[in-house]
A and B are shown apart, each in its own frame.
Chain A
């Protein structure tokens, strides 16, 4: 029984690994078809940065909350093999010496979940009330106090809804990880072109200049990304 369970578990594990493996995106016909591209002896690279709007359309996960998303396509030279690794990519801000490495789908999914969890639906709504008071009896004078209109102004604050925040549950984290992983740049030995998204965990600022650096086998490429 235990042996059977073990085999079944192994089968399920292999199946789930296969499903979660990054497939990336479909590489364009050549690196030159990307907004930014460069060619070296052993490879060509094509790069395009996703605007927040594009990222919103491309991903169900709210990647704009944490990351700069770059689509990277790598083309090994003829008869050549390229060892694709996320560690070979660096994003530098404002030509800084220190660069940011891409983060894995797992890390990004956890970050997004935490951010979603910390977010609450807060709605602030003004309230205005107008009423009429008809006065009252004044025991000292024995007369009736005059009535009149009155106005109340207030602010109501509503927090939270009935369900969980989108992307805040553990199942959401797994779903986001699957999406980010499946659309991510496939790592490993590549003899044919590969493409996929790379996630850099950094805040997007309007004034920043970003430079993507790719170095492999002693060859280096620097591409300045458009703002």
Chain B
């Protein structure tokens, strides 16, 4: 899975025109769906073939969100996130959102999201989030040390 950005559409980061893709072949790619990252640029529909020259993958970790994706907006809900360790990586619906210490407050559109917080040597923290406009959700993600698998 890879997240691609259309440089030629003229959209900036703020417009957040993101497309999540499942298959990339040299020269061509298929847009399967755009939700929940955003919408395909005007004139493109799910299933359309797009020349790869119009798109390019953003540096890892893939996929990731634009920096201002989680800023305050009218009609959004607030997630107050604390994590241990603080520098744990935060993923929303599989997309990298940033580290927990910099993402103390996330504003999301109403909906259901899969939150994953992970750090090296720790067990992943998973939670299903339900976000409603104007509501505050406090999440405390304490990541336990990873248990080493013992061979029988």
Check if A60 sits within 8 Å of B135, measured CB to CB: yes
For the residues of B in contact with A, the DSSP-based class is loop
Q: A19-B112, A171-B110, A176-B132 are in contact. List 4 more A-B contacts (CB 8 A).
A: A163-B133, A166-B132, A172-B133, A178-B111
Check if B132 sits within 8 Å of A5, measured CB to CB: no
Given A171-B109, A178-B111, A8 contacting B46 (CB threshold 8 A): yes
Report chain A residues within 8 Å CB of B33.
8, 11-12, 15
State which of B46, B111, B134 has its C-beta within 8 Å of the C-beta of A174. B111
Question: A197 to chain B: closest CB distance in Å?
Answer: 13
Chain A contact residues, CB within 8 Å of chain B: 1, 4-5, 7-9, 11-12, 15, 19, 59-61, 162-169, 171-172, 174-176, 178-179, 182
Chain B contact residues, CB within 8 Å of chain A: 32-33, 35, 45-48, 74-75, 77, 109-112, 128, 130-135, 137
Report chain B residues within 8 Å CB of A9.
46
Cα separation A167 to B134 with both chains bound (whole Å): 8
Most chain A CB within 10 A, of B35, B110, B132, B137, is at B132
Chain B residue nearest to A167 in the complex (CB): B132
Cα separation A59 to B32 with both chains bound (whole Å): 32
Check if B48 sits within 8 Å of A166, measured CB to CB: no
Check if A166 sits within 8 Å of B74, measured CB to CB: no
Number of inter-chain CB pairs below 8 Å: 77
Check if B135 sits within 8 Å of A162, measured CB to CB: no
Check if B134 sits within 8 Å of A163, measured CB to CB: yes
Cα separation A182 to B110 with both chains bound (whole Å): 16
